[in-house]
Amino acid sequence: MSEPCLKLEKVGKVMKKQVVIDGLDFQVEQGEIVALLGGNGAGKSTILKMIAGVYRPDSGSISVNRLDWKRQPRRYAEQIGYMPDDFQFTAGLTAYETLAFWASLRGLPKSRAKEALVEVGLEDTGKKAVASFSKGMRQRVMFAQALLAKPPLVLMDEPTNGLDPYWMDTFMARVRRLAADGQTVLFSTHQLQMAEALADRVALLRGGRIELEGTADEVREQLGKRGKGLEAAFSEWYSS
C-alpha cells in the first residue's frame, strides 16, 4: 500500500486551557477527497490550520508526503495550498494583482495568476478591487490562490460559503478534476449534501475527536440510518 499523502499521529492542541484537538490519528490517501464534518467548535478549522502551519500542534506529528512540518518546514509548506474560511484582502488590489503577489511568493510566473483566474471564472474582473467583491467572488479568489502552485495537498475551510448554484456545481467539478489528476483534497463544510456528493470519505468530529469516518454509506450504516441522507443521519448523531 502506498504512503498516504497526509498523516496525523496523536496530534493535540490546547487553546485557552481547553483541549481543542485530542490525540488525533488521521490520514488521507493520494488523490482522495475527504470532508471534515462537525458542529461549531468541533475542531475542523483547527485541524486544517495545524496542517497548513497557521497553528502549531502541542503534541504529535503531521507529515505531508513524508515531509514533517517541524523538521522540513519549507519543503512541507510547498506541498500545500490552503483556502481559509475568511480573509481580509488588501484594499485597492484587483484579483489579478492579488494573485500575482501570491504567485511571486511561491516563485511562480505572473502568467500562472492569469491561468488561475480563468479556472475560477474571474478573468474579466478588470480593475475592480477584490475588497468590493461579493462573498462568492472572494471565495473564488481564495480557491484560485489555493490552486496556484498546483500543490499535492489542497486544504479548504468552508469553501462553498456564498457560492451560487452554478458555481457550487463548477467548484465540485473542479475538485473532482484535481483528484483525477492525483491531487489530494481535504475540506470542512456544514453543507452535508455537498459533502455526500463530492467526498470519497467523510469524518465526523465532536469534541476534537473523530468519532466516525468512512464513505457516506458506511457512516450511515454505522449510525443505523441506512435509509436516510447523510444530512438527516448527521443531525440525529449530532443531537444524540
pLDDT tens for residues 146-183?
A: 999 999 999 999 999 999 999 999 999 999 999 999 99
- Residue 219, domain member (yes or no): yes
What are the cell numbers at 161? 460559503
CA distances to 121, 197, 200, 224, 234 from 217, in Å: 33, 11, 10, 10, 12
DSSP-based three-state secondary structure for 121: coil
Of 102, 128, 149, the one marking the end of a domain is 149
| pLDDT for the residue numbered 222 | 83
Check whether residue 107 and residue 171 sit in a common domain: no
Q: How far is residue 105's CA from residue 188's CA, in Å, rounded to a whole number?
A: 26
What are the cell numbers at 29? 490517501
Check whether residue 108 and residue 215 sit in a common domain: no
Check whether residue 170 and residue 66 sit in a common domain: yes
Query: With contact defined as beta carbons under 8 Å apart, do 20 and 43 qualify?
Result: yes
- Residue 222, domain member (yes or no): yes
| pLDDT for the residue numbered 226 | 66
Q: Please list the residues that pair with 153 across neighbouring strands.
A: 80, 184
Check whether residue 163 and residue 235 sit in a common domain: yes
Q: Where are the beta strands (DSSP E) in 113-168?
A: 153-157
The pLDDT of 106-120, averaged and rounded, is: 95
Check whether residue 32 and residue 75 sit in a common domain: yes
Of 115, 149, 183, the one marking the end of a domain is 149
Number of domains the chain contains: 2
Check whether residue 156 and residue 231 sit in a common domain: yes
- Residue 1, domain member (yes or no): no
- Residue 93, domain member (yes or no): yes
Q: How far is residue 34's CA from residue 233's CA, in Å, rounded to a whole number?
A: 18
- CATH code (residue 40): 3.40.50.300
Domain of residue 129, residue span = 88-149
Beta-carbon neighbour count of residue 146 at 10 Å? 23
Q: How far is residue 64's CA from residue 11's CA, in Å, rounded to a whole number?
A: 14
Q: How far is residue 51's CA from residue 27's CA, in Å, rounded to a whole number?
A: 11
Amino acid letter at 80?
I
pTM of the shown model: 0.95
| pLDDT for the residue numbered 174 | 97
What are the cell numbers at 65? 508526503
Check whether residue 164 and residue 130 sit in a common domain: no
